[in-house]
Amino acid sequence: MGTVRSALAAFALIVAASLLLLAQNSMSFFLTSMGPGNGADLGGLAGADKHCQSLAAKAGAGNRTWRAYLSATASGSQPAVNARDRIGKGPWYNAKGVRVAGSVAELHGENNLTKETVLTETGEVVSGRGDKPNRHDVLTGSQADGTALSGDAATTTCGNWTSSGEGSAQVGHHDRVGGGPAPTSWNASHASKGCSQENLRGTGGDGLFYCFAAN
């Protein structure tokens, strides 16, 4: 009996691992498990996209084209970039195969984004308000409808994601709770304390951002 039970247990583990791998291969949305490590200096939108692609590839989902959910504020001759226009049409599923939104309109309306569904690329829940450390501030640089904010790029997107010094960036709360003008917003809760890793952590963040498969 012991041999049979061991064989069944091993089979169950194999099935569970296979299901997780299948879900990750169909994954089209995740919250980064870590940022690049230099605060809100992500290397611009291109650097942020590269980080999404790298994390996805390590999780077995590198066959998709990944884009960071980040807006860029108009600056000089450069026009604004809206996060909602960068991420494809949906639908989007997390690393465990749970649907979080079916379309861009649903994503910015009645979506299924909660602390339990906004998972990392490896299927982990990210700590939020009430946890230690609190990592619920997610970089977006966006308004609630997914469009870029007007004003100075230094105070809306940390210099369009190139600064880890002075300034600030708009963040959302992945756990849908907290402080700020819109505490339950996943993408537009409040401005960060600053752009450095230390300052992002000081307001309950860690330089994390959302990644979506655009294809």
Segment 106-125 shows an average pLDDT of: 98
pTM of the prediction?
Answer: 0.88
Token pair listed for 73: 């504020």
Residue 197: strand, helix, or coil: helix
Instruction: Give the CATH number, domain containing residue 35.
Output: 3.10.100.10
Element (H, E) at 25: helix 2-25
- Between CA 91 and CA 17 the distance in angstroms is 24
Contact call for residues 78 and 72 (beta carbons, < 8 A): yes
Label residue 3 exposed, middle or buried (CB < 10 Å: 0-12, 13-18, 19+): exposed
Residue numbers of the domain that contains 175 = 2-213
Beta strands in the chain (DSSP E): 29-31, 66-68, 92-93, 99-101, 137-139, 170-173, 190-191, 205-213
What is the model's pLDDT at position 16?
A: 46
Answer whether residue 6 shows pLDDT above 60: no
Contact call for residues 74 and 80 (beta carbons, < 8 A): yes
What is the model's pLDDT at position 170?
A: 98
Confidence of residue 25 (pLDDT cuts 50, 70, 90): low
- Between CA 188 and CA 182 the distance in angstroms is 7
Q: Which of 11-15, 45-49, 176-180 has the lowest mean pLDDT?
A: 11-15
What is the model's pLDDT at position 22?
A: 45
Token pair listed for 138: 């997610």
What is the model's pLDDT at position 24?
A: 45
Answer whether residue 18 shows pLDDT above 80: no
Token pair listed for 74: 């108009």
Residues forming beta bridges with residue 81, ordered by sequence position: 72
- Between CA 120 and CA 68 the distance in angstroms is 13
Residues forming beta bridges with residue 101, ordered by sequence position: 92
The total number of structural domains that make up the chain:
1
- Between CA 33 and CA 23 the distance in angstroms is 17
Place of tokens 């790029």: 153
Answer whether residue 67 shows pLDDT above 90: yes
- Between CA 170 and CA 143 the distance in angstroms is 8
Segment 102-112 shows an average pLDDT of: 98
Beta strands in 37-169 (DSSP E): 66-68, 92-93, 99-101, 137-139
Segment 162-188 shows an average pLDDT of: 97
